[in-house]
Amino acid sequence: MSLLVNQGSFPAEIVDVIIDSVHYFSYPANDGDDDRRTKPKDERCLALKSCSLVCRAWVPRSRYHLFRTTTVSLINHRAFMQLIASPNCSFLSFIDTLVLEDGYNGNVNDSDSDTPFWRVDPECVWLPQTLPTATLPIFPNIRKLLIITGAFYVISKEDCAKILLLLSNLPSLTHLALIECIFYTVDDVTRVLSSCQALESARLENIILMQPSVGSDSPGMMAQSHLPSLPASLSSLAFTVQNEDSDILQIISVAGTSLKHLSMSLTPFNMTRDNSVALTVNINLEYSTSLESIVFQSVPISNSYGNAANFVRHIPEILRQITSSSIKEIVLTVWLTDVEDFDNLDWKSITKILSRENYRNLRKFSVVFGRDDLAAESKERITQNLKPLTDTNLSVEIVDYSLNHHQFVEARLGW
């Protein structure tokens, strides 16, 4: 049993370093995860809790790590709501990232069923019923909010108004992620984003849109004639679209001139030429006149993943739309099996487009993949394909990120 240490026997700076070292302690690898902070989480939590018990002076830094990312789900949401309502609750100010995970059942139906694959079990959905009663403003330092599998389309307009009000009362919230959430319309998603008044970065991953039928009593979350504009502080957007419905990409044009960084992962299953073309229909970069970087994320450029030509067709089409003269970097994160896979990209079109006047400030063409053994050969091949540009001022960067594309992109977007 550890002996109690007299409070104040260590300077605060030393205490912080000790606790930080415990948090980042290199536990043995677990399931191939390269992030040492997850190895394993239970052991880290036990160690940090032990530190808190040693001395009261060790409590604040331990709580900083223990509660910095807090997840609330179907399993623990009732206990969590009771806990934060307690007058003795003292950890709320340490929460930086709040993850709210709803419980709808996805992909549970047989392929022959007429019921949509996102069938919702009412007993699994807690977020629309609980969030309107929450007091999110009591979290004074929340910077990131992630809502996962939120069934917003079953929410009443009254409860929706309460949720939007709560979001508007989070002045420190700068990052919002909506992951596999269900909405009626793109306008509903826009209203959620516009409620976060200090929003800087948004991630919209695999959003499901259930367009209401004509004459429906539920035309959306809010029956408003005026659609609010997105915050002027919103500078980065990241999209993941893994189905053929790309309507969510309409939000790009709504972001307008404030948008500086854009990331898109457009890889529907069973990609065909037709749905490859359809993906770009809802992309309008005409108003993104301040765009500085664009990321094409998780692009399969090998035919072993399907017809590579269909997976890469949207890249020159989107580059052609860019009108911003501030564009400085283009990033490709790719899946490949060999260097020859780079030949599946339409380099002729890409080079021609990047030679336009508005790309005069382009400085870097970055390619991210997890094959360190192919890095040198890949850089040589890409540089050769971009030779008309690299002869001037463009540098080619090959980034080996150990297959963790998401980590690279999140870092670029401030996540």
Tokens matching residue 259:
């948008």
The residues, ordered by sequence, that sit 6+ positions from 340 with a Cβ below 8 Å of its Cβ are none
Average pLDDT, the chain: 80
Q: CA-CA distance, 299 to 287, in Å (whole number)?
A: 25
Task: Give the pLDDT confidence score for residue 73 in this predicted structure.
Answer: 86
Instruction: Please answer whether residues 202 and 249 qualify as being in contact, where contact means their C-beta atoms are separated by less than 8 angstroms.
Output: no
Q: CA-CA distance, 385 to 398, in Å (whole number)?
A: 14
Task: Give the pLDDT confidence score for residue 134 in this predicted structure.
Answer: 67
Indicate the DSSP class of residue 236: E
pLDDT per residue over 152-205, tens digit each? 888 888 888 888 888 998 999 999 999 999 999 999 999 999 999 999 999 999
Q: φ and ψ at 81, to 5 degrees?
A: -65, -40
Instruction: Please answer whether residues 247 and 278 qualify as being in contact, where contact means their C-beta atoms are separated by less than 8 angstroms.
Output: no
The residues, ordered by sequence, that sit 6+ positions from 216 with a Cβ below 8 Å of its Cβ are none
The long-range contacts involving 154-161, CB below 8 angstroms and separated by at least 24 positions, are: 154/120, 154/122, 154/125, 154/128, 155/128, 155/221, 156/128, 157/221, 157/222, 157/223, 158/132, 159/128, 159/129, 159/131, 159/132, 160/221, 160/222, 161/222
pLDDT per residue over 192-218, tens digit each? 999 999 999 999 999 999 875 544 545
Q: Which CATH class is domain 67-234?
A: alpha beta
Q: How is the chain split into domains, by residue range?
A: 1-65, 67-234, 243-415
Indicate the DSSP class of residue 3: P
Task: Give the pLDDT confidence score for residue 42 in this predicted structure.
Answer: 67
For the chain (415 residues), the mean pLDDT of every run of 10, in chain order, is 51 73 60 48 72 72 77 86 82 88 58 49 71 71 93 84 88 95 92 96 93 53 68 95 82 95 82 74 93 93 83 93 95 90 94 93 88 85 88 76 67 81
Task: Give the pLDDT confidence score for residue 121 in this predicted structure.
Answer: 62
Task: Give the pLDDT confidence score for residue 38 in this predicted structure.
Answer: 46
Burial bucket for residue 401 (CB in 10 Å: 0-12, 13-18, 19+): middle
Cβ count near 14 (within 10 Å): 10
Amino acid at 336: L
What is each CA distance from 15 to 6, 59, 95, 328, in whole angstroms? Answer: 13, 10, 20, 42
pTM comes to 0.82
Q: CA-CA distance, 284 to 286, in Å (whole number)?
A: 6
